[in-house]
Structure 1
């Protein structure tokens, strides 16, 4: 069977590339609701394109109010679902190749969404096509379920399950291989501080802005200040320890804009990036602002958050025996002379809770100026490594790779946590860099094809009719 699956996958290579490119070329970043488009017209276009591609293959499809859709094959009461999404995070900046051109270079397709999650969605769809072409009889329905706002709350899939049956089993091709038996909890917190104070002469903070999304390490941040000459500011900066090449100064109409360039990364792995917001605030905290509240806020951020990514100074550092450890990422900030707010994306250990994280932070704020509130909490996912479902996924993966490593735990959050029994499964292979949410995101074409073969084998092993049935 392995050889047949490989041959079928290779015969579909060009089609997989084309389908992935068609999806990536649609800039499906969530936007404001517009008429019949709950997450904006571009997200709808990506969903419609996926449906179009699926129907051309001969699959049954169903669009659930433009919130989500499914592609179905097989028969039976039970459902095996493959959970994917067609929305993407904003593209960020400084791409080598255009983020929505889906260009092919050195055996890779480049573009936002290639690895998260349009390439994996194509691999899952073509896995179903492989099973269909091999004329495998199924005793379960197999559904590729496509959501539309996974990157910003997963409301679309929750809506889908209000209308459609919950699958008995599901895997999400939206992470790494091998099978992922545990996902950390995901907590978004909003920190706010009132900066309004009677105007004083001297250095003023006019505004701060930075970041694109809470679950991205921001690659840019900027602040506008007034009440100081550029030459005087440059002199002050010589006394501060920072990487001068990352900071740009621009004077205009008695104001100076400080722009900091960082390195983007997925919010679940802040250690892989360079947080432009945090590095910029570290600089600002050393400047002599006249507003006492501004100084207090900047000092708080520098002391309690700084450039750490484990939450140690703010009191929430944690790790369990799965093992999973807490990560802390400031993803977005905006401020004017009256108020500052920033959103932190925290991935907490599988055996912890959001309540514990918040309690630990509140006990360590050491200032009444800063308040916090919970914006969202996605509880952790855990399935035992020896569960039969996990073992079948692992067997399919091992047959095509020879890799005998164990199931793993991750900080990323996938649709798998929204079903009764689901796990993440691929598409990145061990040793590959995690480039989701980063500039120059890509998918290797060979891995796209190999993943489709692995998913096809998993479908056959889990949903295929056995010889004695």
Structure 2
């Protein structure tokens, strides 16, 4: 249901578990599981086998693992196949040594964690088993993550009609709402020569330390800006190609819907990682600050429904509707809509038995002081 790659990974994982003596279940290619141990309580281990798009800039094939200098290079090696396999072999060691366990362990692997979590929704509706009493996801970092911010994607809608000396035909960027766009491309007509536009682009890229290309295609010009991708929960670590492209184009005399679209992108969204320009900035003492990633841009002058996709990671104390109400105040936005899936903030106190046990084990094994953490990323831990 989520493509051939995740299904292939699921089948391979379950075949490996069968090889090692576990009785596995494939829940219609959405997810799979197996159990080990005895007991009334069930500990769930929640992992995922899907990955985010590989993007560009790889020195090796992202889907052909390479070990170099003691490190494994491949898409998903840390998110989440590497940690999944670490947990798998930790459980296998317990099984092979015959160590006693007082609870049943159910190892659950999904195939849609990076998108809409349709795998877990389907799994729990069709598993036919009692839900785990508690659990964890090997999908973050040590010593522990016991809090995750809420996650909601909201869409800004714009008109498209624009005419004049400068006319924006199309503007496109981004692959996922939870990724910083690595490249952005616009096609436009202009009352300028190719040489004049290239001179302005050269000055812009030199000032911003970016790479870009501008070419003429018939009566129009195509400009592409290259930024740097990053995870949507940490947009400040990337360079949003879309907002930089809009910043370049915003110097020209576009009008109508194009002016609104470019102005919003260049002057409101550019480097507004905390949502201050949007009026949605919020900080909670325990869970930290809200963050915003402008992930997908789609504009066509012949369409009356152009969009900018904004992904918010928000702490307790604010919510999706509060954010939406502020976005609706933006000049020129025709509508604001919300994604179908929302994850509300999740926090498990440090004195919770599972959290305190995991922290004590961390301290015993490493000799380091354990501490709680809250992240903007979302995992099956919630």
Question: For residues 48 and 219 of structure 1, do their structure 2 counterparts lie closer, same or farther at Cα, with a shift above 3 Å needed?
Answer: same
Q: What are the equivalent positions in structure 2 for 1:404-415 lying under 5 Å apart?
A: 404-415=369-380
2:276 paired residue number: 312
2:294 paired residue number: 330
Alignment length (residue pairs): 375
Is the helix fraction higher in 1 or 2? 1
**What CA deviation, in whole Å up to 9, does each residue of 1:138-187 have, x standing for no partner?**
22210110011011111111111112321101100111111211100001
Aligned partners of 2:247 and 2:267 also within 8 Å:
no
1:354 paired residue number: 320
Structure 1 distance, partners of 2:47, 2:136, is 9
Query: Of 165, 168, 178, which aligns to 2:133?
Result: 168
The alignment status of 1:402 with 2:343, answered yes or no, reads: no
2:225 paired residue number: 260
1:301 paired residue number: 265
How far the C-alpha of 1:405 sits from its partner, in A, is 3.0
SS of the equivalent of 1:207 reads strand
The alignment status of 1:177 with 2:142, answered yes or no, reads: yes
Structure 1 distance, partners of 2:298, 2:321, is 26
Question: For residues 44 and 172 of structure 1, do their structure 2 counterparts lie closer, same or farther at Cα, with a shift above 3 Å needed?
Answer: same
The alignment status of 1:46 with 2:12, answered yes or no, reads: no
Aligned partners of 1:206 and 1:337 also within 8 Å:
yes
TM-score (norm 1): 0.77
SS of the equivalent of 2:288 reads coil
The alignment status of 1:342 with 2:342, answered yes or no, reads: no
The alignment status of 1:277 with 2:264, answered yes or no, reads: no
Query: Of 83, 94, 100, which aligns to 1:137?
Result: 100
How far the C-alpha of 1:51 sits from its partner, in A, is 0.5
Structure 2 distance, partners of 1:220, 1:301, is 15
Structure 2 distance, partners of 1:400, 1:108, is 22
Structure 1 distance, partners of 2:204, 2:68, is 42
Structure 1 distance, partners of 2:32, 2:210, is 47
Structure 1 distance, partners of 2:5, 2:202, is 46
SS of the equivalent of 1:121 reads helix
- Aligned-CA RMSD value: 1.7
SS of the equivalent of 2:57 reads coil
Aligned partners of 1:209 and 1:333 also within 8 Å:
yes
2:194 paired residue number: 230
Aligned partners of 1:194 and 1:338 also within 8 Å:
no
1:380 paired residue number: 345
1:79 paired residue number: 42
SS of the equivalent of 1:112 reads coil
How far the C-alpha of 1:272 sits from its partner, in A, is 1.1
Structure 2 distance, partners of 1:203, 1:125, is 58
Query: Of 355, 373, 389, which aligns to 2:354?
Result: 389
How far the C-alpha of 1:202 sits from its partner, in A, is 2.3
TM-score (norm 2): 0.94
Structure 2 distance, partners of 1:141, 1:238, is 62
SS of the equivalent of 2:289 reads coil
Structure 2 distance, partners of 1:263, 1:235, is 23
Structure 2 distance, partners of 1:131, 1:240, is 59
Aligned partners of 2:280 and 2:326 also within 8 Å:
yes
How far the C-alpha of 1:201 sits from its partner, in A, is 4.7
Query: Of 143, 147, 171, which aligns to 1:208?
Result: 171
The alignment status of 1:154 with 2:154, answered yes or no, reads: no
SS of the equivalent of 2:326 reads helix
Question: Unmatched 5+ residue regions in structure 2?
Answer: none
Question: For residues 230 and 405 of structure 1, do their structure 2 counterparts lie closer, same or farther at Cα, with a shift above 3 Å needed?
Answer: same
Structure 2 distance, partners of 1:105, 1:299, is 45
Larger mean Cα displacement after TM superposition, 230-239 or 398-407: 230-239
Larger mean Cα displacement after TM superposition, 219-228 or 95-104: 219-228
Structure 1 distance, partners of 2:44, 2:74, is 26
Structure 1 distance, partners of 2:356, 2:343, is 26
